[in-house]
C-alpha cells in the first residue's frame, strides 16, 4: 500500500512540476509562444522581458508554489518521513526542467527550486533568499545571481547537519549550472541580459549615456 501511494504521489509531483506555466500564460492571454521570443526560455525572467511584469509575476508565483506544493505532498497525504519531501521536491524540479508536456524540455527551474526550499525548510529558504536578493540587486542578472546562490546554498547546507539536504543541494548545483550553459557564455562575453534594476544596471545605463554624449 505504501509503495503504491508513494509511486502515485511521486508521479503527481513530477506532473505538478511539469506544468508549463510560461507557455500557457503566453498562449492563453497574449497569443504568443514564449519559446519563440527573447531567450526562448519558459521561465519568469523571459516572461517578464517578453510579456511584461503582470505575466512575469504570475509565472513566477505559479512556478514557485508548484515546487512548494509538490514538496509538501508527503505531509499532505501523511506519507511519513520528512526527508521524503526532498524526493518529491526533486521530482517537481525535474518535471519543470524536463516537462512531459513540452516533449521533455523545460525551464531552468530556479523559481521551482526556491519553492521546494520553502516547502522543505523555511529557515533554510530564508537564508537562501538572503543570498539571492542582494546578489540580484548588485549584479542585475538573474542568471549570475542563481549560479552564485546555488553554490552558497550547497555550502550552507553543511551547517544544517542534514545529509539529504546537502546531497539535494549538490544535485541542484549540477542542474542549475548545466541549464545555464548559454547564460554562462553570455556572462563571459559581457552581453548577458539584465533586469531593469540593480547596481550594475544603473552603472551600465550611465556608461551608455556617457558614450552617447561623446559620440
User: Which region holds residue 77: left if phi is over 0, alpha if psi is between -120 and 50, else beta?
Assistant: alpha
Element (DSSP H or E) covering residue 2: helix 2-18
Query: Per residue in 154-174, pLDDT tens?
Result: 999 999 999 999 999 999 999
Residue 105 has a CB neighbour count (10 Å cut-off) of: 12
What are 179-188's pLDDT values in tens digits?
999 999 999 9
49-61 average pLDDT score:
95
The per-residue pLDDT for 155 is 97
User: How much is the average pLDDT of 127-132?
Assistant: 96
Within 10 angstroms of residue 209's Cβ, the number of other Cβ atoms is 10
pLDDT for 77-121, tens place per residue? 998 778 899 999 999 999 999 999 999 999 999 999 999 999 999
d(CA 43, CA 50): 11
Query: Do the Cβ atoms of 198 and 140 come closer than 8 Å?
Result: yes
Mean pLDDT score across all residues of the chain? 93
Amino acid at each position: 500500500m505504501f509503495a503504491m501511494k508513494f509511486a502515485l504521489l511521486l508521479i503527481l509531483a513530477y506532473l505538478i512540476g511539469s506544468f508549463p506555466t510560461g507557455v500557457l500564460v503566453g498562449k492563453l492571454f497574449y497569443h504568443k509562444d514564449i519559446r519563440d521570443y527573447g531567450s526562448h526560455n519558459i521561465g519568469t525572467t523571459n516572461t517578464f522581458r517578453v510579456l511584461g511584469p503582470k505575466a512575469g509575476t504570475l509565472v513566477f508565483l505559479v512556478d514557485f508554489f508548484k515546487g512548494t506544493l509538490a514538496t509538501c505532498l508527503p505531509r499532505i497525504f501523511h506519507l511519513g518521513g520528512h526527508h521524503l519531501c526532498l524526493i518529491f521536491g526533486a521530482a517537481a524540479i525535474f518535471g519543470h526542467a524536463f516537462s512531459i508536456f513540452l516533449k521533455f524540455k523545460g525551464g531552468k527551474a530556479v523559481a521551482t527550486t526556491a519553492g521546494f526550499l520553502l516547502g522543505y525548510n523555511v529557515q533554510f529558504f530564508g537564508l537562501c533568499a538572503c543570498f539571492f536578493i542582494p546578489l540580484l540587486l548588485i549584479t542585475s542578472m538573474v542568471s549570475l545571481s542563481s549560479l552564485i546562490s546555488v553554490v552558497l546554498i550547497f555550502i550552507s547546507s553543511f551547517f544544517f547537519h542534514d545529509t539529504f539536504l546537502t546531497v539535494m543541494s549538490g544535485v541542484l548545483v549540477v542542474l542549475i549550472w548545466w541549464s545555464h550553459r548559454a547564460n554562462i557564455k553570455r556572462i563571459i562575453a559581457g552581453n548577458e541580459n539584465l533586469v531593469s534594476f540593480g547596481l550594475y544596471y544603473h552603472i551600465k545605463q550611465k556608461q551608455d549615456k556617457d558614450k552617447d554624449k561623446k559620440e
